[in-house]
A = this chain, B = another copy of it.
Amino acid sequence: MAEHSFQAPKGTRDFYPTDLAMRRRMEDAWRSASVDFGFDEIEGPTFEHLELYTAKSGDGIVSELFSFRRAGGENDYALRPEFTPTLARMVAAKAGGLPTPVKWFAIPTMYRAERPQRGRLREFGQWNIDVLGLEGAAIDIEVIGVAILALERLGLTPKDVQVRVSHRAVIAQVLAALGVPSERAADAMTLLDRRDKLDAAEFHKRALALGLASEAVQRFDLVARAAQPLANSFANLAHAAGVELEVFRELEALREAAQAAGILDWCTVDVGIVRGLAYYTGTVFEIHEVSGAERAIAGGGRYDGLVELFGGPKMPACGFGMGDVVLSNVLSDRGLLPKDAAVLLPRPDAFIISAGGDADSFVPTLASRMRRAGLHVRTSYKATRNVGKLLSDANKARARFAIIIGAEIADGRVALKDLASGEQRWIAIDEAVTACARVLGAP
């Protein structure tokens, strides 16, 4: 048969052991933060009926999806581009049968048929957090808090990343005060969402097209680009927008809740954050590296009407998604990934070495016994019986102990070498499990 040179599809990744160890490090932080906050993990199918996505987003979304049909089948499917429709479908399927609140997390793989670029691949992992059945600033801050806990466990600080928060009701009132007619509010939000991608002249042109007076455009621009610590007073913002301070009451509530949860220093107010998706109804937020060099690390907010849209009960809801691609870029930018990812691989408890002769026949039996006792055990597959060379392999594997089987096995004894201290002693081969077991955590 002809030889082929096969490659991974464009925008997908092969994870060799050290690559996967890096990814697991992020997933472990996601999972442990989720569990510590009392979220339960769920998972759904990798692909869904295509209509699950077109029902909400219209047929326009099809070009961004990997969609397909089984040969001879009648249904159109699509690889999931986001998890929220699956989540809403799962909640709807249980109708009112779930205890409230529903606090779920998931770490699904996602797919987008877009052009791959920095921070954006066609296949990626995404952490999803959702609280359903509750509303209020304290819940929104709990959702933001679990994201922060994971980032903190990965070594990030408020100096590295900030949660940029806003609120749909605040945005709507500011736009109204600036003179945006209510029928153009959606267009104005789209413009806000794109403000960083447009130059000043283009932004002005589009703002004028919304029907704003020239002076209002200036204020609109100022408000759209203003960002300040959530801890600060909103007086300046209110003044710039020409609104009463009272308009910011939802952000005041977020501030109080963030203060109580001890995460106020992680939060920035940025009225220009609207999130592209039409389904957000209250708080909206994005997490960004402070320099703004990368895409958003995470995005989310409150979406009170969504579960109902998928046939479920009326349920308030708040959540976010955080992808692995931008996050790993940020961690790398900040020097928070180990230079040699091999240190993230599991450490062997013991590395068994045969000094040759009869000793060889004891290796599989001892290895098997130790593994069945829950120890991570490696052995050499090399033909050499040069103990020095094999000890160097044991060190390279980062084993805690080497067990050397030599002529003394005739008396049932083997050498146990602590590879950290270099200390070596004789033990009965039957003691090998207990001699190495102490490295395990208590049961």
Contact = CB atoms under 8 A, between A and B. Distances in A.
Interface in A63-84: 63, 65-68, 70-73, 75, 77, 79
A310 interface: yes
Contact of A372 (B71, B90, B152, B361): B152
A368 B42 contact: no
Interface stretch (A5-13, A162-170, A213-221): A5-13
Contacts of A56: 1
A310 B5 CA distance: 7
A15 B44 contact: yes
A118 interface: no
A9 B48 contact: yes
A45 B371 contact: no
A9 B63 contact: no
A206 interface: no
Contacts of A260: 361, 364-365, 368
Interface string A128-158: 0000001000100110010001001000000
A55 B310 contact: no
B36 A376 contact: yes
A378 to B, nearest CB: 4
Contacts of A104: 17
Interface string A371-400: 110111111010000000000000000000
Contact of A6 (B32, B52, B369): B52
A411 B76 CA distance: 64
B77 A9 contact: yes
B67 A43 contact: no
A405 to B, nearest CB: 13
Number of copies of this chain that the complex holds: 2
A229 interface: no
A211 interface: no
Nearest to A310: B6
A46 B3 contact: no
Contacts of A86: 14
A40 interface: yes
A271 interface: no
A327 to B, nearest CB: 17
A14 B365 contact: no
A49 B381 contact: no
Contacts of A381: 100-101, 134
A40 B15 CA distance: 11
Interface in A81-113: 85-86, 89-90, 92-94, 100-101, 104, 109, 111, 113
Interface in A313-369: 345-346, 348, 361, 364-365, 367-369
A149 B371 contact: yes
Given A72-B63, A364-B260, A364-B261, A42 B13 contact: no
Contacts of A45: 8-9, 12-14, 123
Interface string A11-24: 01111110011011
B62 A66 contact: no
A141 B363 CA distance: 13
B49 A9 contact: yes
Contacts of A23: 43
10 contacts: A4-B310, A5-B92, A14-B93, A15-B42, A16-B94, A32-B374, A36-B371, A68-B68, A73-B113, A261-B365
Given A14-B90, A65-B71, 14 more contacts: A6-B92, A7-B49, A12-B46, A13-B45, A15-B43, A36-B375, A45-B123, A46-B109, A47-B123, A66-B68, A101-B381, A149-B372, A261-B364, A261-B368
